[in-house]
Structures are given as C-alpha cells and as structure tokens.
Amino acid sequence: MNKEILLEDLGLRDYKETWDYQEQLFQGILDIKSNNRKSGDQKITPNYFLFVEHPHVYTLGKSGDRSNLLISEEQLAQKKASFYKINRGGDITYHGPGQVVGYPILDLDNFFTDIHRYLRLLEEMVILTLKDYGLNAVRSEGETGVWLDVGTPFARKICAMGVRASRWVTMHGFALNVNSDLGYFDNIVPCGIRDKAVTSLNVELGREQVPMEEVKEKLLKYFQNLFQVEFSHYRQNH
C-alpha cells in the first residue's frame, strides 16, 4: 500500500481545465489497477492532492436539479461565471476566488475501502482547521459538508463537499469558503438546501482577509494526521 501523496497547488485555474486534469490522474490510477488485475502485477498506485482556486463557476452534480441555478445564461455571462454539469455526487455549488478547493485523488485501496469514512475524515480535517480559528464547526446530520450553528435558525454552511469514486479511486472533493464573495451564492439554491445560509471564514472572524496559504497548511496538517500519510510536492504550478 502506498501512503505517499503527491501534492500540487494549481493556483487560480479554470474549472474545466482542472476537471480534465483530475480525470487524467483518476484514469491513470484506474488503468494501473486494471493492468494489475489482468497481469497479476502489484504495481503501486499513486495518490494525489490538488489545491486550486477557480474563477467564478457553478457546478451541478449528477443527481442535482438544474432549477437550483436561479439565473439565466445571459446573467451568468454578465457575472463572468461559468456553469458545468459534472460527475460528482451532490447538487449545485459555487466555486470562486477566495475559496480553498481541494481535490484528493486517492486509491482508497491504499488506505481503507469505505467512502462514508473517507467523507467523514474530510469533514473532520475542515472541522479541526476551523477550530484553530476559534470556530465550533460541526456536521449536519444527513447533509455532507461542514456547518456552523446547526439546529438553530442561524445554521450556515462554510464548506461544501462532493466526491466521485470508481473502484475505490476518488476525485472531486471539498470547497472551503475563506475569503469568498458570498453574493454569488444568491444565484443558486446551494446544494439544493433552501433553508440554510452560507458563510465564509473571513466573515465569521470579522476580517477582510484570512491568509489562504495559512489555511492550506492547516488543512494539510490535519489531513496528514487523519489519513496517516506523507506529502511530497508534485510539479507545483505546472
């Protein structure tokens, strides 16, 4: 089993370009697994972790409802935002500048074959990171992601999650609002949930900006501890 993870920070990168890149890495792992099965080889499968920040984009999961996008194609263009229907779970979400997006592309055969556990550990990584900032973030029963003030009229989501898995290989991941323009969430029913708001770390802390690199470092530290892995850098900003 390979517990090394190749880490790459793509910087600000177009959503479709990043999605294609994820697919390439994802398919590469699947090909190795398929060849191993056919040939009896034991070639080690790699694991990747991509950080990225996207220009304004709305993405709709395969089980999502298109009507949860509340604006027209023309309005999308006016807002310089893109829209994609994609192959992860979940409904509609927004990505944009000021958001830390992480895409772990892992062969869970190298760790544990349990998607539920995988999602809970991703949530725990975010919960522990936010705790460092003095926020009591929690899960919301039956809803993937990380929330504040669950069970109150002030419940709000700070981190969305949606993954795809095939033969225990994962792609897509999480999006943590750090310095997000929350106005863009007004154009959708986030994750198809109508009665809860969305927030961002800087808003919760009453700060104009929270250093993105600082947040990434914390996320990686907790990911490393929770998954018991080692990171190595991989063609950073290629």
DSSP secondary structure letters along 107-122:
BGGGT-S-HHHHHHHH
Residues 6+ apart with CB under 8 A from 105: 22, 25, 26, 29, 47, 48, 49, 50, 169, 170, 171
Chain-centre distance of CA 59, in angstroms? 12
What would the two tokens of residue 70 be?
């509340």
Cα–Cα distance, 5 to 228 (Å, whole number): 10
Residue 11: C-alpha distances to residues 15, 20, 43, 163 (Å): 12, 16, 31, 21
Q: Is 159 a residue of the active site?
A: no
Residue 13: C-alpha distances to residues 38, 147, 224 (Å): 36, 26, 25
Instruction: Choose among 158, 119, 124: nearest CA to 142.
Output: 119
Among 81, 163, 165, 191, the active-site one is 191
Asked whether the CA dihedral 40, 42, 43, 45 is positive or negative, the reply is positive
Are the CB atoms for 64 and 90 separated by under 8 Å? yes
Among all residues, which ones are annotated catalytic? Answer: 191
